Amino acid sequence: MCPMTPSISAVPAGASLDWNAVAAETRTHLQRMIRINTVNPPGSELGLAKYLDETLTAEGIETHLFEPSPGRAAFVARLRGDGSRRPVIIMAHMDVVGVERAKWSVDPFAAEIKGGYLYGRGAIDDKGMLAANLETILLLKRHVVDTGGRLSRDVIFVANSDEEAGGEYGMGWLVANHRELIDAEFAVNEGGRTRIVKGKPLYVAVQNTEKVAHVVMVTARGPSGHASVPLEGNAVFRLGRALAAIGEHREPVKMTPMTRAFFGQLATVWPNDRERRAMADVASRDAARVNRGARVLVAIPVFDAVLRTGISATIVNGGIRANVIPTEATATLNIRTLPGQSIERAVARLRRAVKDSSVTLTITERGEDSPASDFSSPMFRAIAETVRDLAPRMVTVPYMSTGATDSARLRRLGMQAFGILPFPMNPDDEDRMHGNDERIPLASLDFGTRLIYGAIHRVTR
Ligand SMILES: [Zn+2]
């Protein structure tokens, strides 16, 4: 038996359900959804939205299907509760990123099952969660509502388009046009991680806040001329020196209540002694220990990225001919600030690091901050308690994602949004997201379905 297959007796929420039948049904829905090609662009999510609409309508669930632009779709379904509490949203996006077909060992849209995995574009981002959400609302309808049970709040199922390309026809459209349909206290979205480390399912990271993305242009200027006469102040060399200085620069470590909780709890389960001590160190309130811990964690890029504002160089441009010294050379930096940190101050620190007045740094795109969701709220607790039931040795930790998600939009509207990826995965499987041979372990699909169902069942009691 796979070590992560939860034992049925450990699931009080829905203990009477036939979980084998549930797993088979979820798998079938996921296969059908992968076979509906929603590569964005162009997205063409309408076909998939119709599939959801038919499936839910057939079971007597209220649905709303919109076509924000031809072929695109916004889909909302609602299970009514008694209204004693405000609604909860479960959401997922229907579009997927493109494929390099030649690099796949299977047809990315055939949804083939092989060796305990279901393969296909979208299996983990984000059709797996869409299938688990779909199964959750179906189970709540059949086993709570239809049996005379009570839901203390409405459950709103949202399937949106265009997440992979900015959300203009997706969440952005829904918020602008049908705000009344997505008014809720809590939302559960993609954006977290459920990690298997060295073969052991270790932790569920629930995203409650995210870094803020900005774009900064670095421009170096100098005299132009024929390449046969080398000139002092050549813009390309200047840019090179500036980029080297930026590459060496590290933003200061900044601990927040969230990162303290994240590393503090991870330190209780982490397998490597040295790293475990470093996690306990950064979670302490002693500045010397924080610095000592951060020096160890810097070696793990995903952890270093939650400790400080991160700077990545992404594009370099300059010059027109092999024998002409250009007057200008530019580089694009993608900077992700910690929530609440100022991009201006980060850029001022970079200017000091560059130490060259003929190099300018300009903020060309500015991200918007959103308030963090409360990790002591009933929704977070419901997730953590369900994890404890399913896998008593795993811990649930709050988490700041380094990437941007639709949840930021919801948080700015005053909702408590939480990001999960409820499927336990080792790094190799997780790295296939947006890559080749994307796949979901079937046991993890099963675990994720139970996790979402269990958490939503708890928070609607
Ligand atoms: Zn996604």
CB 263 within 8 A of CB 282: yes
CA of 4 to the centre of ligand 1 (A): 24
CA of 350 to the centre of ligand 1 (A): 32
CA of 402 to the centre of ligand 1 (A): 14
CA of 93 to the centre of ligand 1 (A): 7
Please list all protein residues whose beta carbon sits less than 5 angstroms from ligand 1, which is an ion: 125-126, 190
CA of 423 to the centre of ligand 1 (A): 14
Q: Of 320, 365, 329, give the one whose Cα is nearest residue 219.
A: 329
CA of 143 to the centre of ligand 1 (A): 29
CA of 122 to the centre of ligand 1 (A): 8
What is d(CA 261, CA 149) in angstroms, rounded to the nearest whole number?
Answer: 36
CA of 439 to the centre of ligand 1 (A): 14
Tell me the one-letter amino acid at 291: N
Which residues are CB-neighbours of 299 under 8 A, at least 6 positions away? none
pLDDT at 8 (0 to 100):
36
Q: Is the pTM higher than 0.85?
A: yes
pLDDT at 349 (0 to 100):
98
Tell me the one-letter amino acid at 295: R
pLDDT at 168 (0 to 100):
82
CA of 396 to the centre of ligand 1 (A): 21
Digitized pLDDT (tens) for each residue of the chain, 461 residues in all? 344 444 333 444 556 799 999 999 999 999 999 999 999 999 999 999 999 999 999 999 999 999 999 999 999 999 999 999 999 999 999 999 999 999 999 999 999 999 999 999 999 999 999 999 999 999 999 999 999 999 999 999 999 999 988 778 888 899 999 999 999 999 999 999 999 998 999 999 999 999 999 999 999 999 999 999 999 999 999 999 999 999 999 999 999 999 999 999 999 999 999 999 999 999 999 999 999 999 999 999 989 999 999 999 999 999 999 999 999 999 999 999 999 999 999 999 999 999 999 999 999 999 999 999 999 999 999 999 999 999 999 999 999 998 888 899 899 999 999 999 999 999 999 999 999 999 999 999 999 999 999 999 999 99
Q: Which residue has the tokens 């709220």?
A: 377
CA of 166 to the centre of ligand 1 (A): 11
CA 339 to chain CA centroid, Å, is 16
CA of 163 to the centre of ligand 1 (A): 7
CA of 377 to the centre of ligand 1 (A): 24
CA of 109 to the centre of ligand 1 (A): 17
CA of 265 to the centre of ligand 1 (A): 26
CA of 414 to the centre of ligand 1 (A): 22
What is d(CA 96, CA 41) in angstroms, rounded to the nearest whole number?
Answer: 9
CA of 323 to the centre of ligand 1 (A): 45
CA of 164 to the centre of ligand 1 (A): 7
CA of 432 to the centre of ligand 1 (A): 12
CA of 203 to the centre of ligand 1 (A): 20
CB 168 within 8 A of CB 162: yes
Q: What is the 3-state secondary structure (H, E, C) of the chain?
A: CCCCCCCHHHCCCCCCCCHHHHHHHHHHHHHHHHHCCCECCCCCCHHHHHHHHHHHHCCCCEEEEECCCCCCCEEEEEECCCCCCCCEEEEEECCECCCCHHHCCCCCCCCCEECCEEECCCCCCCHHHHHHHHHHHHHHHHHHHCCCCCCCCCEEEEEECCHHHCCCCCHHHHHHHCHHHHCCCEEEECCCEEEEECCEEEEEEEEEEECEEEEEEEEEECCCEECCCCCCCCHHHHHHHHHHHHHHCCCCCCCCHHHHHHHHHHCCCCCCHHHHHHHHHHHCCCHHHHHHHHHHHCCCHHHHHHHCCEEEEEEEEECCCCCEECCEEEEEEEEEECCCCCHHHHHHHHHHHHCCCCEEEEEEECCCCCCCCCCCCHHHHHHHHHHHHHCCCCEEEEEEECCCCCHHHHHHCCCEEEECCCCCECHHHHCCCCCCCCEEEHHHHHHHHHHHHHHHHHHCC
pLDDT at 9 (0 to 100):
36
Which residues are CB-neighbours of 17 under 8 A, at least 6 positions away? 139, 143
CB atoms inside a 10 Å sphere around CB 359 = 24
CA of 81 to the centre of ligand 1 (A): 29
What is d(CA 409, CA 49) in angstroms, rounded to the nearest whole number?
Answer: 22
CB 90 within 8 A of CB 78: no
- Structure-block tokens of residue 78: 């609602």
CA of 191 to the centre of ligand 1 (A): 7
pLDDT at 166 (0 to 100):
77
CA of 364 to the centre of ligand 1 (A): 26
pLDDT at 16 (0 to 100):
79
What is d(CA 418, CA 208) in angstroms, rounded to the nearest whole number?
Answer: 5
CA of 409 to the centre of ligand 1 (A): 15
CA 92 to chain CA centroid, Å, is 11
CA distances (Å), 413 to each of 73, 137, 176, 379, in order? Answer: 22, 24, 11, 17
CA of 421 to the centre of ligand 1 (A): 10
CA of 309 to the centre of ligand 1 (A): 23
